[in-house]
Amino acid sequence: MKRPNLNRELALEALQRTADGAGGFTEAWQQLGTLWAEVQPRSGRLAEGDAGAVSVTGFRFVVRGAPDGHSARPVAGQRFLMGNRIFRIEAVTEAEPKGFYLNCHCEEELAV
């Protein structure tokens, strides 16, 4: 495997739920840290969102590996922020057998 060019700074965020005291909860995104990644665009498609048509584009982010359960290891359901862009993490796999790097398969939605 060729060494990835980790040249994009990303914020890793996780959704946190907090009890609201009335039997429900509130949700807010909490930043877990900063990671550097190589970003590779994938294919896109047009989909129907809640408020109309959206453009959905896939991306593969390559980041440094971290042990399972470590806060620096992305997991599905979290998200990356790159400036004002938001990328939902759909799946995470090791890029090679030793786990030095991870492939994060993400999607970005933009209103059309």
- The answer to pTM > 0.85 is yes
Look at the alpha carbons of 8, 62, 59, 42 in this order and tell me if their dihedral is positive or negative: positive
Domain boundaries, the chain: 39-112
Q: Which two tokens stand for residue 58?
A: 């896939």
Rounded-to-integer distance, Cα 36 and Cα 57, Å: 20
Would you write out the chain's pLDDT as a tens digit for each of its 112 residues? 688 999 999 999 999 998 888 888 899 999 999 999 999 999 999 888 787 888 999 999 999 999 888 989 999 999 999 999 999 999 999 998 888 999 999 999 887 7
pLDDT at 43: 92
Exposure of 111 in the CB half-sphere (CA atoms within 13 A): 3
Rounded-to-integer distance, Cα 11 and Cα 24, Å: 28
pLDDT at 31: 95
